[in-house]
Amino acid sequence: MHPATQQHPPTGSDDDDLLLGIDIGGTKLAVGVARRGRFAITGELASIAKEPVRGPGRPDDLIPRALELARALIAGEGGKLGAIGISIGGPLDHLSGRVVNFPHLPGWRDIPLCDRVAGGLGAPARLDNDANLGALAEHRWGAGRGFDSMVYLTLSTGIGGGVIVDGHLLHGVGSAAGEVGHITVRTDGPRCPCGNRGCLEMMASGTSIARRTREALATAPDPILLRLAGNDPAAITAPMVLQAADEGSALARGIWEETAEYIAVGLGSIIHILAPPLIVLGGGVAQAGEKLLEPVRRRLRDHVFYVPLDRIRVTGAALGHDSALTGAATLALTMMPDGG
Amino acid sequence: MHPATQQHPPTGSDDDDLLLGIDIGGTKLAVGVARRGRFAITGELASIAKEPVRGPGRPDDLIPRALELARALIAGEGGKLGAIGISIGGPLDHLSGRVVNFPHLPGWRDIPLCDRVAGGLGAPARLDNDANLGALAEHRWGAGRGFDSMVYLTLSTGIGGGVIVDGHLLHGVGSAAGEVGHITVRTDGPRCPCGNRGCLEMMASGTSIARRTREALATAPDPILLRLAGNDPAAITAPMVLQAADEGSALARGIWEETAEYIAVGLGSIIHILAPPLIVLGGGVAQAGEKLLEPVRRRLRDHVFYVPLDRIRVTGAALGHDSALTGAATLALTMMPDGG
Decide if A178 and B273 are in contact by the 8 Å CB cutoff.
Answer: yes
The alpha carbon of residue B17 and the mean position of all alpha carbons in its chain are separated, in whole angstroms, by 26
Rg, C-alpha atoms of chain A: 21
**What pLDDT is recorded for position A338?**
74
Q: Nearest-CA distance from B180 to chain A in Å?
A: 6
Q: How much of chain B, in percent, has pLDDT values that exceed 70?
A: 96
Decide if A184 and B270 are in contact by the 8 Å CB cutoff.
Answer: no
pLDDT, tens digit (0-9, with 9 covering 90-100), for A224-278: 999 999 999 999 999 999 999 999 999 999 999 999 999 999 999 999 999 999 9
Degrees (nearest 5) of the Cα angle B1, B4, B9? Answer: 105
Q: Nearest-CA distance from A19 to chain B in Å?
A: 28
Decide if A273 and B277 are in contact by the 8 Å CB cutoff.
Answer: no
Decide if B182 and A304 are in contact by the 8 Å CB cutoff.
Answer: yes
Residue B265's closest CA among B290, B288, B299? B299
Q: Measured between CB atoms, which of A149, A174, A272 is closest to B182?
A: A272
Decide if A308 and B174 are in contact by the 8 Å CB cutoff.
Answer: yes
Distance between CA A69 and CA A114 in Å, rounded? 16
pLDDT of residue A144 exceeding 90, the answer is: yes
Q: What share of chain B is helix, strand, coil (3-state, %, to 5)?
A: 45, 20, 35
Q: Nearest-CA distance from A131 to chain B in Å?
A: 13
Determine the residue of chain A that is closest to B184 in CA distance: A269
What does the pLDDT average to over B127-134? 96
Amino acid at A302: D
Q: Nearest-CA distance from B176 to chain A in Å?
A: 6
pLDDT of residue B292 exceeding 60, the answer is: yes
Residue B36's closest CA among B64, B16, B12? B16
Distance between CA B141 and CA B125 in Å, rounded? 21
Determine the residue of chain B that is closest to A262 in CA distance: B187
Residues in chain B: 340
Decide if B273 and A179 are in contact by the 8 Å CB cutoff.
Answer: yes
**B85 forms bridges with which residues in the sheet?**
B21, B126
How large is the ipTM?
A: 0.92
> Beta-carbon neighbour count of residue B257 at 10 Å?
13
Q: Measured between CB atoms, which of A168, A194, A272 is closest to B305?
A: A194
Q: Measured between CB atoms, which of B168, B175, B268 is closest to A184?
A: B268
pLDDT of residue B79 exceeding 60, the answer is: yes
Residues in chain A: 340
At B59, the pLDDT band (50, 70, 90 cuts) reads very high
Give A-chain residues touching B149 at CB under 8 angstroms.
172
pLDDT, tens digit (0-9, with 9 covering 90-100), for A176-221: 999 999 999 999 999 999 999 999 999 999 999 999 999 999 999 8
Do the beta carbons of residue A30 and residue A50 sit within 8 Å? yes
Question: Each residue of A144-155: b (16+ CB within 10 Å) or e?
Answer: beebebbbbbbb
Give B-chain residues touching A258 at CB under 8 angstroms.
none
pLDDT, tens digit (0-9, with 9 covering 90-100), for A77-119: 999 999 999 999 988 999 999 999 998 899 999 999 999 999 9
At B338, the pLDDT band (50, 70, 90 cuts) reads confident
- Three-state helix/strand/coil letters over B140-176: HHCCCCCCCCEEEEEECCCEEEEEEECCEECCCHHHC
Distance between CA B192 and CA B207 in Å, rounded? 12
* Alpha carbons within 13 A on the beta-carbon side of B251: 20
What does the pLDDT average to over A15-21? 91
Decide if A172 and B275 are in contact by the 8 Å CB cutoff.
Answer: yes
Q: Kindly give the interhelix angle for A250-274 and B250-274, rounded to the nearest 10 degrees.
A: 90
Q: Measured between CB atoms, which of B170, B171, B305 is closest to A195?
A: B305
Q: Name the segment(s) of chain A with CATH classification 3.30.420.40.
A: 3-137+322-335, 144-316
pLDDT of residue A1 exceeding 70, the answer is: no
Q: Measured between CB atoms, which of B170, B181, B268 is closest to A274?
A: B170
Q: Measured between CB atoms, which of A172, A272, A306 is closest to B276?
A: A172
Determine the residue of chain A that is closest to B308 in CA distance: A174
Q: Measured between CB atoms, which of B171, B180, B273 is closest to A180?
A: B273
Q: How far lies A21's CA from each of A14, A18, A33, A123, B20, in Å?
A: 18, 10, 6, 12, 52
Interface test with B, best of A101, A152, A170, A173 (most B CBs within 10 A): A173
Q: How many inter-chain contacts (A to B, CB under 8 Å) are there?
A: 159
| DSSP-assigned states of every residue in A114-164 | HHHHHHHHTS-EEEEEHHHHHHHHHHHHSTTTT-S-EEEEEESSSEEEEEE
Decide if A172 and B304 are in contact by the 8 Å CB cutoff.
Answer: no
Decide if B184 and A180 are in contact by the 8 Å CB cutoff.
Answer: no
pLDDT, tens digit (0-9, with 9 covering 90-100), for B304-320: 999 999 999 999 999 98
Give B-chain residues touching A168 at CB under 8 angstroms.
166
Distance between CA A224 and CA A255 in Å, rounded? 14
Q: Kindly give the interhelix angle for B238-246 and B206-219, rounded to the nearest 10 degrees.
A: 60
Beta strand A168-169 pairing with A278-282: unpaired
Q: Nearest-CA distance from B185 to chain A in Å?
A: 7
Average pLDDT taken over every residue of chain A: 93
pLDDT, tens digit (0-9, with 9 covering 90-100), for B240-280: 999 999 999 999 999 999 999 999 999 999 999 999 999 99
Domain A3-137+322-335 coded CATH 3.30.420.40: yes
**Phi and psi angles of residue B281, each rounded to the nearest 5 degrees, phi first:** -105, 120
At A12, the pLDDT band (50, 70, 90 cuts) reads very low
Do the beta carbons of residue B8 and residue B16 sit within 8 Å? yes
Decide if A188 and B184 are in contact by the 8 Å CB cutoff.
Answer: no
Classified as helix, coil or strand, A292 is helix
Q: Measured between CB atoms, which of B151, B168, B306 is closest to A182?
A: B306
Q: In this structure, which topology does domain B144-316 adopt according to CATH?
A: Nucleotidyltransferase; domain 5 (3.30.420)
Q: Measured between CB atoms, which of A177, A186, A198 is closest to B274?
A: A177
Give B-chain residues touching A179 at CB under 8 angstroms.
272-273, 275, 306-307
**What pLDDT is recorded for position B7?**
42
Q: What share of chain A is helix, strand, coil (3-state, %, to 5)?
A: 45, 20, 35
Do the beta carbons of residue A117 and residue A331 sit within 8 Å? no
Residue B210's closest CA among B221, B195, B225, B230? B225
Q: Nearest-CA distance from A279 to chain B in Å?
A: 12
Give B-chain residues touching A182 at CB under 8 angstroms.
268, 272, 304-306
**What pLDDT is recorded for position B339?**
62
